[in-house]
Amino acid sequence: MIKRNRPGPVAFKRSDVGKLISQCSESADFMSFKLDEDSPFYISYFQTLVDQNIVHQDVLSILKGSKFTSLEEIKDAVHVENIMLTTDVSSIQQRVMLGNILIYKQEAQPSCLLISASKMEKRQISIPETEYSVVGPKEAFVESLDTNINLIRKRIPIPDFQVKELTVGKLSKTRVAVAYIKGIADEENVNTVIQRINDINYDQLIDTSFISQMIADNGNSPFPQLVDTERPDRTASVLMEGKVAILVDGSPSALTGPTALVEFFSAYEDYLIVWSLGSVFRLIRLFAVTFSVLSTPLYVAILTYHYEVIPQDLLTALVSSRGGIPFPPILEAIVLELTIELLREAGARLPTKVGQTIGIVGGIVIGTAAVQAGLTSNVLLIVVALSALASFTTPVYQVSNAIRLIRFPFLLFAQLLGLLGVAVCSAMVLAHLFKLTSLGRPFLEPVYPLRLTDMKDALVRLPFNRQATRPLFMHPQNVLKLQQHSSQKDSKDIDE
Amino acid sequence: MLPLPSEDKKVSPYLAFYIVHSMQLGVVVFSFARTIVKEAGHDAWISVLIAGAAIHLILWMTYQIVIKGNNDITVIHRELFGKWLGGLLTLLLATYLMVIFVVIMRAYIEVIQVWMFPELQTWYMGILLSILVYLYVMGGFRVIVGLCLLSFFFTIPLLLSLLFPLANAQFSYLLPVMEHSTIEILEGTKQMAIIFSGFEVILFCYPFIKQGQRSHKWAQFGTAFTTFVYLAATMVPIVYFSEGQLEKTIWPTLTLWKIVDFPFLERFEYVGVSIWLFVMLPNLCLYLWAATRALKQLFSIQQRKMVMPLLFLTVFASTLIENGIQIRQFNTFVDWISFYIVFAYVPFVYLYQLISKKMRRSE
């Protein structure tokens, strides 16, 4: 009779919390002990997840001294920010796994007290590496979601800046934050992003690049459809334009969207220098990318089929450099392009210092030797090296990978049909780009659909006083950036 | 009858400019100067202007038809002529579009064969072009219109290349004005008007344009611009070649491109023919799109299922036309149909619609 009425240890163990604790106890870093010999309370936590200072100073020191009888009393006595009394097993499990201290009373109902004491290891904020700029802020995102949101929020100190948090990944339980400015960002974009993230059904989510691939409109496209940036200033800036940002705990970058192809050619530095310079640099980058994709295929096409298009003087130079080379242009080009790709891969996988050596060995030694051995023409070497250099000018790293890749089909078509082949391949790539969307918005905007108002910050960047409206293609709710008033400067005559 | 397309499938009204312009411009730019000069001699440019004016009028009629019907021509056919006769007319129109498709494809392949790759097999290039058309048509109307827009930007540098021959031009070749008789000039006008055809596609794609009525203005601008382009492409050969020489030159524009000379580039025709792919591709894509759309309206077959078979058919048909003589014979035949479609059929439908509306109202 008595035994049945008393919810003793046996009964408690059968409950879910008991199961959880016994499950966790199998790990070496899980601590579970009784507070005192005569105390009714048990304490459990993951030693590796909690901050020892909080455990000893704020929790154990208070509990040890006094005689509590209920969990509520403890709750009132402990002065820690985040304390919760709950019976819900799933939330208990979730919070214990995030570094909460679990206090429970063996005899009582399975209600438990959770005290937040988490300690998350993180790196210090450092300077951006892939998107370095000479002028302007030097902060970059780190692997902690809270720090990253802090970096953005301090740049947008308004309540309209909102963050929605989701948990994704069956095993990794990754925290994913969707940030946007209410009243500017289109609700439809926000909902699309949230819905697509919720639809992700995968066990792990390590980085933003996972999300970028999983929620892309076309997952097979080599072109990234969301901008991946490590700069909080850039993120804040595009948020204020009406975009949506996605941050992932454990990833030092933010995804922003919807985006258009031209955005991949805009460096944040364009906004930090005078608009005329910024525009010219942006145009140079666009030219560089076109050059990078087309130069080697054009070399192959012209030298294989249409040497007539080269004027005589230039042809002499080309012939003298190609004379005695045993390979057709296509083989020569593919081997050289692959060599450059090899160097790039080797350089990317090696530590910085060794990487530099590889660059010198590859670029100078192999290149010179190949030309001297008569295996390749030095004109092609120049072309290939220049196009490799040009492909590095893209400010967003992801798109330079796409440019690396699409060069090869162009080479193939140049070999098949010469200049016509290059045109056919361009038409194919363009067909793909025309179809591509980013969160449902056309990827080639403002070129197609042609929107002149969005052209002010696309191929060129006009001065800030001309940037009165936010980009229209993402349908911002609030279009006006600044109130325009007639400037006095223009109406003044000379010498007035 | 299909429901009208949803808003997100439609394009902005100003894009009618590019649709009409790119449809009127095609492979024929290379060769048309010879055909009209044969008729109207050095007064051919007057023919171009008259033809342009006539096309403005026909385009206006085209727009009146679709604005009144507020749908594409297949539905208007059914409303005006009943299910069977209307259906037959639609079928004939769709067949006409596919025949034009073959003509354009074959003509472009011929230019490639003559100017770039003499050994190139027709079927090989046909299949390559079909793949391109397939990619664009599967992307839908918006993607095709994007290509039209792009083709406009490709046309401009090619037109600028026509400035090079002007250095050696003999402007006195244009004189005396009106040396040829009115009949001769009108003969030239007839030839020229056929070259302007292609805008009939508006009959099919009108429901896909937002605020269709507003697009009328843009379509007229498009025709005006095409007239300008053709005028330039007629004037330059006339002042550069002597009349006898021009009559013997099949592709005057291409011959003119040979003169273009940059420090890094000569023999511009190789580049020009390649880039012209972007100018003729929208024609192919829109014709196929319109034909499949019409068949969808008639037989409710999915458009995507028809693209492949139709492309195979056209490639097969274009391989049947073997040499330049056959191409030109076939061309003349199709030109004859085009002429009657533009100048007889469109006004006929316009008047018939006008009268039947009046009759209905008086009843």
Q: 3-class secondary structure for A58-71?
A: HHHHHHHHCCCCCH
Does B270 score more than 60 pLDDT? yes
B116, B273, B277: residue with CB nearest A427: B277
Judge whether B117 is closer than 8 Å to chain A, CB to CB. Answer: yes
Q: What is the mean pLDDT of residues A203-216?
A: 90
Does A6 score more than 60 pLDDT? no
A417, A423, A434: residue with CB nearest B146: A434
Q: What is the mean pLDDT of residues A324-336?
A: 90
Residues of chain A with C-beta less than 8 angstroms from the C-beta of B281: 427
The tens digit of pLDDT for each residue in A377-426 reads 888 989 998 998 888 888 888 888 888 889 999 999 999 999 999 999 99
Q: Are strands A174-181 and A244-248 parallel, antiparallel or unpaired?
A: antiparallel
How many alpha carbons lie under 13 Å from residue B360 in its C-beta half-sphere? 8
Determine phi and psi for A437, rounding to 5 degrees.
-130, 155
Judge whether A289 is closer than 8 Å to chain B, CB to CB. Answer: no
Residues of chain B with C-beta less than 8 angstroms from the C-beta of A434: 136, 139, 142-143, 146-147
Judge whether B54 is closer than 8 Å to chain A, CB to CB. Answer: no
- Kindly state the tokens that stand for A43: 């304490």
Task: Please determine, for the modelled complex, whether the ipTM score is greater than 0.90.
Answer: yes
Judge whether B9 is closer than 8 Å to chain A, CB to CB. Answer: no
- Our CA-based measurement puts residue A312 at a distance from the nearest CA of chain B, in whole angstroms, of 9
Does A351 score more than 90 pLDDT? no
Determine phi and psi for A161, rounding to 5 degrees.
-75, 115
B143/A434 Cβ within 8 A = yes
Q: Across the strands, what pairs with A181? A: A161
- For chain B, the average pLDDT equals 89
Residues of chain B with C-beta less than 8 angstroms from the C-beta of A459: none
Confidence of residue B126 (pLDDT cuts 50, 70, 90): very high
Q: What is the pLDDT of residue B38?
A: 85
Q: What is the pLDDT of residue A10?
A: 39
A309/B265 Cβ within 8 A = yes
Judge whether B210 is closer than 8 Å to chain A, CB to CB. Answer: no
Q: What is the pLDDT of residue A348?
A: 79
Could you give the CA distance from residue A91 to residue B38 in angstroms, rounded to a whole number? 88
Q: Across the strands, what pairs with A229? A: A254
A418, A427, A434: residue with CB nearest B116: A418
Question: Between chain A and chain B, how many beta carbons pairs sit less than 8 Å apart?
Answer: 86
Domains and CATH numbers, chain B: 7-357 (1.20.1740.10)
Of all residues in chain A, what percent are helix, strand and coil, respectively (each to 5)?
50, 15, 35
Residues recorded for chain A: 496
Does B30 score more than 80 pLDDT? yes
- Dihedral (CA of B238, B242, B247, B248) sign: negative
- DSSP code at position A207: S
Judge whether B280 is closer than 8 Å to chain A, CB to CB. Answer: no
To test the contact with chain A by mutation, choose from B271, B279, B288, B289 the residue with the greatest count of A C-beta atoms within 10 A, namely B271
Residues of chain B with C-beta less than 8 angstroms from the C-beta of A309: 265-268, 270-271
Residue type, A394: T
Cβ atoms B296, B303 nearer than 8 A: yes
Judge whether B150 is closer than 8 Å to chain A, CB to CB. Answer: yes
Nearest to B226 by CA among B274, B271, B193: B193
B150/A448 Cβ within 8 A = yes
Could you give the CA distance from residue B45 to residue B238 in angstroms, rounded to a whole number? 9
- Kindly state the tokens that stand for A11: 């009964």
Beta-carbon count within 10 A of A397 CB: 17
Could you give the CA distance from residue A299 to residue A330 in angstroms, rounded to a whole number? 9
Q: What is the pLDDT of residue B72?
A: 87
Residue of B nearest to A441 (CA): B8
- Dihedral (CA of A64, A70, A73, A79) sign: positive
Q: What is the pLDDT of residue A110?
A: 66
Judge whether A432 is closer than 8 Å to chain B, CB to CB. Answer: yes
Could you give the CA distance from residue A305 to residue B117 in angstroms, rounded to a whole number? 9
B117/A431 Cβ within 8 A = no
A311, A431, A450: residue with CB nearest B266: A311
| Run of H or E residues at A37 | none
Does A12 score more than 50 pLDDT? no
For residue A202, what are the contacts with CB-CB under 8 A and spacing of at least 6?
A168, A169, A170, A210, A214
Residues recorded for chain B: 363
A434/B136 Cβ within 8 A = yes
Residues 412..431 of A with a Cβ closer than 8 Å to B: which?
417-420, 422-424, 427-428, 430-431
Q: Rg of chain A over CA atoms, in angstroms?
A: 30
B139, B274, B278: residue with CB nearest A419: B274
Q: What is the DSSP string of A336-404?
A: HHHHHHHHHHHHHHS-HHHHHHHHHIIIIIIHHHHHHTTSS-HHHHHHHHHHHHHHTT-SSHHHHHHHH
Residue of B nearest to A298 (CA): B271
Does A71 score more than 60 pLDDT? yes
The tens digit of pLDDT for each residue in A25-42 reads 888 888 888 877 777 788
Torsion of CA B199, B205, B210, B212, to 10 degrees: 50
Residues of chain B with C-beta less than 8 angstroms from the C-beta of A311: 261-266
A424/B268 Cβ within 8 A = no
Share of chain A above pLDDT 70, in %: 94
Q: In angstroms, how far apart are the furthest CA atoms of chain B? A: 73
Cβ atoms A151, A247 nearer than 8 A: no
Q: What is the pLDDT of residue A465?
A: 82
Residue of A nearest to B260 (CA): A309
